[in-house]
A = this chain, B = another copy of it.
Amino acid sequence: MLDFAVLGLLMERARHGYELKRALGELGFWKVSFGSLYPALRRLEKRGAISAVSGTGRRKAYQITDEGLKIFDTLLKADPDASETERAFQIRLAFLGHLPRERRVQVLEGRRTKLSTNLKSAREILIDARSNTENQDRYRLALMEHAMATTESDIAWLDGLVAAERGVASQN
């Protein structure tokens, strides 16, 4: 998924490693390490998805190639499987604008469904935990409750995004 993210960022313009790391961090959910990023760049270069265009000083800027564009497109269009991670979803979301509206809504609703399912089982687990004398630890319960509240808020946020897509019929 890091490869997907890197390609997505390079779609806009050429960037060097450090800049990619910063950009990913600024999206707010992934402080990727150098130990992940630089190997990823070499991986992508070896696959012919990106190519180095030397920058000032020590910098090595990379630009996406035609092959890279093809790979990005494939990853973008692949429909997210059920086991997709929180992080994978967020990366997908960061580049969702590249998909047509109809597909965007599909992705958002797929995620919504998954979170709803998670929430339902979390509720059951919580009820169980509360009625279980052994699991009465205050902080454990607080963690579970907070995780649920966060999921609920995520769902509401997704609903907002879907509503925005449906409301703005003139776009795309």
Q: What residue in chain B is nearest A129 (Cβ atoms)?
A: B26
Q: What residue in chain B is nearest A128 (Cβ atoms)?
A: B26
Q: What residue in chain B is nearest A22 (Cβ atoms)?
A: B125
* Contact present for B149 and A153 (CB under 8 Å): yes
Interface residue? A102 (CB, 8 A): no
Report which of B94, B97, B125 forms a contact with A26, defined as CB distance below 8 A.
B125
Q: How many copies does the complex hold?
A: 2
List the B side residues contacting A95 at CB < 8 Å: 139
List the B side residues contacting A26 at CB < 8 Å: 125, 129, 144
Task: Given contacts A27-B143, A28-B144, list 15 more A-B pairs with CB under 8 A.
Answer: A13-B134, A26-B125, A26-B144, A27-B140, A27-B144, A27-B147, A28-B148, A29-B143, A29-B147, A93-B139, A94-B139, A97-B138, A146-B157, A149-B153, A153-B153
